[in-house]
Amino acid sequence: MGVQVGKHTDAFFDALSSELIEKLSDASDVVTDLSMGCGRRLHCLWSSPKTMSSELYQNIQTFYDQSSALWENTWGEHMHHGYYGPTGTHRSPDRHRAQVELIDQLLHWADIQQATAILDAGCGIGGSALYLCDRYQADVTGITLSPAQAERAVERANAAGLSDRARFQVADVLNTPFADTQFDFIWSMESGEHYPDKGQFFQESYRLLKPGGRLLMATWCHRPTDSLAGPLTESEQLHLSWLYQVYHLPYVLSLPNYAHLAAQSGFEQIRTADWSTAVAPFWDDVIVSALQWEAIAGLFQAGWPTVQGALALGLMRWGFQRGLIRYGIVCATK
């Protein structure tokens, strides 16, 4: 059985999260209801789409430039959730194995049997990209907003002997420098929550894919609002706004809204699934790892944005517990 988060750890992160909530509440802007054809969006900190992208991108770059080395030292090359079985009860002391298992389960669910030209849209330090490169013996291109991540991914590709087939660069996922129909598989692992225009991501992905090409996306979502629970409550909106500020997210959508955007962009054979239960234990494991002395020292060396991210771990766990934060996956074909 994996390490369980104890009462003292819970109390520690509850206290830190409460303090962070108070600070963010004092500094946060009014939550604005934006209607752009894809449901209710929450928008904080950035006053218009044009200024939002430039400031948002700079914040994302700084956050990952400062925090990626600490994450790699603590968790390894995969900067995403782990998979703990359909019921979330398959715990293992090997946290890295759970993250690799998530990749394998996603590829199995989407039935991605082969690929020759892959785009990793939001590649981090190359964890997924190099795994896909080796698994499919494919050419892989990874893009990120973080120069530090791109540089580290290149180093890791060289060390793995995959530099002839795996390339990494700094680029905007929504406006890539690549030719039409260049890829047959696009992988988006937990980067969609950062995209300031979700619809543009699907449109750009459609342009980049060859006919018959596949898109597989795993992303943070909020709960559906077309159920008995109804629209997001004021408490839920505030909860999301705190997470947006700490993790530099423009907004997230519900899973049905992602599917709608994919269809609007021309995709077919669209499938979705909610894997929240399967990945939720990840945040317990992250909290435990954050309390290691080496990680604590690394947090303060990385700077305040990274410290804020650590303090908000309890907010993410609470989001899953209250059913507000969902882990959505989307598969679609051009």
Distance of CA 311 to the CA centre of its chain: 18
Q: Are 82 and 324 in contact (CB under 8 A)?
A: no
- Read off the pLDDT band of 296 (50, 70, 90): low
Kindly report which listed range (28-37, 122-131, 176-185, 239-248) carries the lowest average pLDDT score.
28-37
Dihedrals φ, ψ of 46, to 5°? -110, 130
Question: Tokens for 226?
Answer: 């077309």
C-alpha angle with apex 172: 166 to 178, nearest 5 degrees? 55
**Residue 13 pLDDT:** 46
Q: What class has domain 35-333?
A: alpha beta
Q: Are 43 and 34 in contact (CB under 8 A)?
A: yes
**Residue 305 pLDDT:** 59
Query: What is the enclosing helix (H) or strand (E) of 185?
Result: strand 183-189
Residue 39 CB coordination number (10 Å): 21
**Residue 294 pLDDT:** 64
For residue 309, pLDDT beyond 60: no
For residue 215, pLDDT beyond 50: yes
**Residue 314 pLDDT:** 81
Contacts of residue 150, Cβ cutoff 8 Å, sequence gap at least 6: 123, 142, 143, 144, 168, 169, 170
Of 96, 106, 155, 160, nearest to 133 by C-alpha is 160
For residue 296, give the 3-state DSSP assignment. helix
Domain ranges of the chain: 35-333
Residue 181, judged by CB atoms within 10 A of its CB (0-12, 13-18, 19+), counts as middle
Q: How far apart are CA 227 and CA 324, in angstroms?
A: 13
Q: What is the pLDDT of residues 61-105, one digit of tens each?
A: 998 998 888 778 777 799 899 999 999 988 877 778 999 999 999
**Higher pLDDT, residue 93 or 260:** 260
- Read off the pLDDT band of 166 (50, 70, 90): very high
- Read off the pLDDT band of 302 (50, 70, 90): low
Q: Are 79 and 124 in contact (CB under 8 A)?
A: yes
**Higher pLDDT, residue 297 or 106:** 106
DSSP string of 117-174, one letter each residue? EEEEES-TTSHHHHHHHHHHT-EEEEEES-HHHHHHHHHHHHHHT-TTTEEEEE--TT
% of the chain at pLDDT higher than 70 = 78
Contacts of residue 251, Cβ cutoff 8 Å, sequence gap at least 6: 34, 41, 42, 43, 240, 244
Q: Give me the amino acid identity at 320.
A: F
Section 102-120 average pLDDT? 98
Between the alpha carbon of residue 71 and those of residues 124, 149, 223, 242, the distances in Å are 11, 11, 28, 22
Sign of CA dihedral 216, 218, 222, 226: positive
Section 218-239 average pLDDT? 94
Sign of CA dihedral 152, 279, 286, 92: negative
pLDDT mean across residues, the chain? 83
